[in-house]
Each structure stands twice: as C-alpha cells, then as structure tokens.
A = this chain, B = another copy of it.
Amino acid sequence: MVERKKKKATIKDVAGMAHVSIATASRVLSGSDYPVKEELKSAILAAAQKLDYQPNVFGQLLRGATNKQIGVVVPSISNPFYSQLFAAVQKVCMDQGYVPILYSSHSDRNMEQHYIDMMIHYRVAGTLLSLMGWEPGMCRRLEEAGIPCVLFDQPHEDPEVSSIDFDFYSGGKLAAEYLTGAGHREIVFATGSVDRPSRKKLLAGFQAGMELGGCSFGEEHLVVNHTVKGTGASAMKDYQCGQGLGEIILERPYLPDAVFAVNDMMAIGIIKKLETSGIHVPVDISVLGFDNVEFGEMIVPALTTISQSAYRTGELAAEILFESVTEGSRMKKKLMLEPVLVERDSVRRKHNKIRRNQ
C-alpha cells in the first residue's frame, strides 16, 4: 500500500519555513511587484520549491480571481466540423493563458441548458456557444452573471449578444448558382429535418439561387430524411442520414443531375450509397457538400463543397470573445462569414452552352 495523499503545502507552510509572514509569502508567490527584500524573496522561493508549493486555486478563486476557463458548447464532438473548430478555439485560448472546456450537447436543448448552468456555476471567464434551442433568456443569464458569450454556427439574430455568423442564405444561393452554372438542371436539396435556423436559411438561399439559374424548384426537389433516431448529431448520424437520403434518391423514377447536401457528412453518406449501388459520382450524378470538413478531401472522389471554415469560425469566435473577456468591452459584435466554393471532384462540369431552350 502506497503512501496516501500527503497533504499539499499551503502558503502558511511556506511562510513558516522561510520565517516570514504569510503576507510577504503571498506577495512574492503571487508574483506581485510589491517590494520585498531580495533576501527574503529568495528564501521564500526556496521554501516553496522544497515543499513543492502550488497555490490552491479555490482559495484564489473564492477571493475573487477570475477562473481562466472558457466554456465551449457544441452539438457533437465527433463531428469533424466541431472538432476542427475546437482546435482553433484551443489555440487562441492557450495563447491567452486560458483553457477551454468542451461540452457536447448532442443537440439536446436540455443538455444545452444544463451545460450553461454548469458554466455559470464554475464562473468561467467566457463562453462560446452553438445553440440549437434558443430562447432570449439563455444568454441573459450568462450576461447577468457577468460572463461574456459569443454565439456561433447557429444564427439567432439577437442584437444583445455577439456572434460570428455564417451567411447561410448566400451559401445556399451559391450552391444553386454553381450547380446550375455547371449545366445541371434537375437538382435536389438533400437534408435531415429542417429544424435549425441554419438549414432554413440555406434552403431559402438555395431556392433563390435556383430561380436565378432559371431552374424550377418545387416540392419534388426537396428530399428530407426524417428517420434519424434519437437526438444528437454525431458524424455517424449525419452519415447515416446521408445514406438514407441516397436511398430515397435511388428510389425515384429517374436520377437527378445533381444533389446538394446540407453538410459534408451527409454528402459522404450519399456518395457512399450511390457508389455501392453502381452509380458513379460525378459521372452519373454530381454531389455538392457543405462545410468543407477535412474528410471531404480524403475520399474518392474528393468532395466539392462550400466552405464554412471550421477553423476560421472557431478562431474568430474566440478572438471576439477575448475582446470582452480581457478588455471588458461591452460592445456586441456581429461578424458575418461569406461562403467560398471549394472545387474538387464530386461535381461534373457539363460545360453548358448558353442556356437556350429547355
């Protein structure tokens, strides 16, 4: 049986060993610039060293120090979009001497609420949130507790809170324009439940883009797979949703020219289903994704997609959060990221001549 839990040295122990008061000990140990005689200073440092002294955070925190943790809520950690985003957040936090804490909500409103309570409880210095459910109250509670927050990923249109938004409407429009521009006419919009604000905007933009491209877009062009069992939006769930979408598409009387999927993992699921059914992408049908997840580049054919840079989003969100956290700025900022097309191999260019008839 090993020696049990030897008690940690406190500042009092250090002070004792160095024959000074705890006040002086505190002054040098907390790195204050308060003047202390060199002699004592080194004695204290030596004692601290010998005792392997480390300040008790809870003492400091109770005293009023700020908890240098940043709470981050995302729907799913296994979805590469969010893990890449988190990597960026981590980097920025690190540089600022903070440490991010990740909460995965599985897109469950209760969990989101639970984690927000948690963060208030631990008095984190700031929060980064991707919230599915959202009532104005949620962020207010954080603000009341003096915790700055910035929303990302899901647009919520609240002037009272900072956010880094992605222009989903333009994204949808760009998708439609690119696809029609490439000569496709019969284009399908493939998605899971259109429950999130992001998807609603994407769809609206897509419809607008189709019209601009001179294509009709009716009920029959909207392919929805509702059969996602349980809540949660893991990579696997989206992929499976995509597989289901692929099936639905295969069951149609005729294949569309192209399909636009609401995110990359779904697009990958669709491609997989098509390929294993002998339909080749992009020769038989084109598939366009959305997100620009790293994985998209790794598959064959490499996924053509619309980039909502996960890394950039995380970086920006963290940066504007720190403006509030460290500078105590009360200013609410709204940043809008524009979509960028990433052309790879999953969409075929039909080199369409000038649209003349049909």
Contacts and interface: CB of A to CB of B under 8 A. Distances in A.
Interface of A: 1-6, 8, 54, 56-59, 61-62, 77-78, 80, 83-84, 86-87, 90, 99, 101-104, 117-118, 120-123, 143-146, 160, 234-236, 239, 268-269, 271-272, 275-276, 294-295, 298-300, 330
Nearest to A147: B5
Most buried by B among A59, A123, A300: A300
Given A54-B121, A57-B121, A269-B298, 12 more contacts: A4-B146, A5-B145, A6-B144, A56-B62, A62-B62, A77-B77, A78-B87, A90-B104, A236-B294, A272-B299, A272-B300, A300-B300
Nearest to A1: B330
Copies in the complex: 2
Contact of A99 (B118, B160, B269): B118
A3 B141 CA distance: 12
B269 A144 contact: no
Can you list the 10 inter-chain pairs with the closest CB atoms, starting with the nearest?
Answer: A5-B146, A58-B62, A58-B61, A78-B83, A275-B300, A102-B102, A58-B58, A77-B83, A62-B62, A299-B299
Contacts of A120: 54
A140 to B, nearest CB: 9
Contacts of A143: 2
Contact of A276 (B3, B62, B234, B300): B300
9 contacts: A2-B160, A2-B330, A77-B87, A80-B235, A83-B83, A269-B298, A295-B295, A298-B299, A299-B300
Contacts of A83: 77-78, 83
A121 B276 CA distance: 52
